[in-house]
Each structure stands twice: as C-alpha cells, then as structure tokens.
Amino acid sequence: MYRYISLFVLLALSLACGGGGGGASTSSSSTASTSGTAGSSTTQYLASNVVFSASGLAKAGDQLAVVDTTTKVLAANIVVSTGKGEIKSDNLQTALDEEIAVEVSTALQGTWTIKNITSNPDYKSTTGEIVFTSNSGTGKYDFTLSSGRTVVPGLFTKADYDAFSNAYGYITGTGTAEVVGSRCLYLSWSYIDRSSGKSFDNSSVVDLPELRKGRVVFVGGGSNRSISILTKK
C-alpha cells in the first residue's frame, strides 16, 4: 500500500511524469510542459512513467537528462494499469479516493448488507444488515445489527434468534466498534444468552483485509477465521 501512497506524495511535490527514456509512453511528453498549473492539461500519463527522484533514474535504467519538477499533473490524469495487483480503479485519483487512502475512521459510516462466508452451519449462506454511526471525536462507531446475522464477529438479531434454535443468543441495543490502527476493529456488545436468559457482555477483534469505499471485508480474529463481506447500500 505504501508504494501507492508514495505516488500520491510525488504528485503533491509536483513532479511530472513526462516522456523520455526506455519506459516512456507514446503520449506523455508532448503537452505536459504546457500545463503550468494543475488541471490545465487533459493529457494522460502512465503511472509506470512516474519517477520518484533523479537519483532513482539510474536504478531504473532510464537515461533522462532532465527531470521536470515544476509541471503539475492531475492525479486523475495518471493512468493506472488494472491488470496487476488489487487496484480496480483506472486512474490514480480514483484509486486514492476509493481504494488506497480510505480510512477506517470514516469509511464505515452508513448502512451495509452482509454476506457470510463460512463452513459454520449456523451462519453458512446467510445474510444480514448492519448500520455504523460515527461517534464523533472518539475514534469509535456505534453499530446496530438491523436484520439477519453476521458470522464476524458472530451476532444474531432477535428475529433470527427466534427462528433458529441453535443460536447462542442475540445482540441487544447498540454495540461499539473502536478503530485500532489502519485495518482493525475492536467490537463490543451485549447479548441475551439462550440458556440462562441473562444479559452478558462480549467482544471481538475484527481484521479488515479489504477496505474500499462501498466494500469492506471482515475477518474474525483468533479461531473465528470466517468472512463477512459488507457492501454499502
């Protein structure tokens, strides 16, 4: 991920990705020098033609004599190859906004549908819906499971609990999701236990191996390595 963020830093420093050298594209050098201000050029540039520093040229085997450090290029005009890796966007700006620079602290706000992937028969091929509401200034979300169930971290609504005799219990009220680092959540909630009928507190660590605007993947911590795929409504 950091190599893509470095690309963003490059643009912020206004390094051009113009032509020349063995790796230059056929359209990246002719008009870039005329775009004195950001956004004035519609020329598109290959991300592979971006250089991070003059000293880096020798390592890359390029023979450019001059590196243009004044021309500004819109990130939206940097074309990203989608044939390799996990980047789905076709330009750098969209990749940054929707895939690379997405932050957990803001990305979860809203309503999400849940698709559960697991061998656990209690959750296999089931769905649900969850709502995250940012608890402003605290680094936490409040969340409610509004329908169905989620295998990560292992929650039933009251309706699914009533319809499924194997359910250990059901979540009550609102839970809390605390952001831990860039790809982890600490979830806590209360539930009614089936066997005793009493309320208990529970918690779980959830990893987020995929975090995009509109799609998040939850993987359970510890022995719960099942998957819940969240899609924004």
Per-residue pLDDT of the chain (233 residues; tens, 9 = 90+): 444 444 443 443 333 333 333 333 333 333 333 334 444 467 877 766 666 555 555 555 555 556 666 777 787 877 776 655 667 777 777 777 777 768 888 899 999 999 999 999 999 999 999 999 998 767 899 999 999 999 999 999 999 999 999 999 999 999 999 999 888 999 999 999 999 999 999 999 999 999 988 999 999 866 657 999 999 99
Quick one: 185 exposed, middle or buried, by C-beta within 10 A (0-12, 13-18, 19+)?
buried
The boundaries of the domain holding residue 34 are: 2-100
Q: Are residues 108 and 93 in the same domain?
A: no
Q: Are residues 41 and 124 in the same domain?
A: no
Of residues 44, 51, 49, 52, the one with CA closest to residue 78? 44
**Secondary structure of 36-63 in the HEC alphabet?**
CCCCCCCCCEEHHHCCCCCHHHHHHCCC
Q: Are residues 141 and 228 in the same domain?
A: yes
Name the pTM for this structure.
0.68
pLDDT single digits (tens) 85-120: 667 777 777 777 777 768 888 899 999 999 999 999
Q: For residue 129, what is the domain's CATH number? A: 2.40.128.120
Q: How many domains does one find in the chain? A: 2
Q: Are residues 76 and 110 in the same domain?
A: no
Q: Are residues 89 and 143 in the same domain?
A: no
Q: Are residues 117 and 219 in the same domain?
A: yes
Q: Are residues 61 and 110 in the same domain?
A: no
Q: Are residues 224 and 110 in the same domain?
A: yes
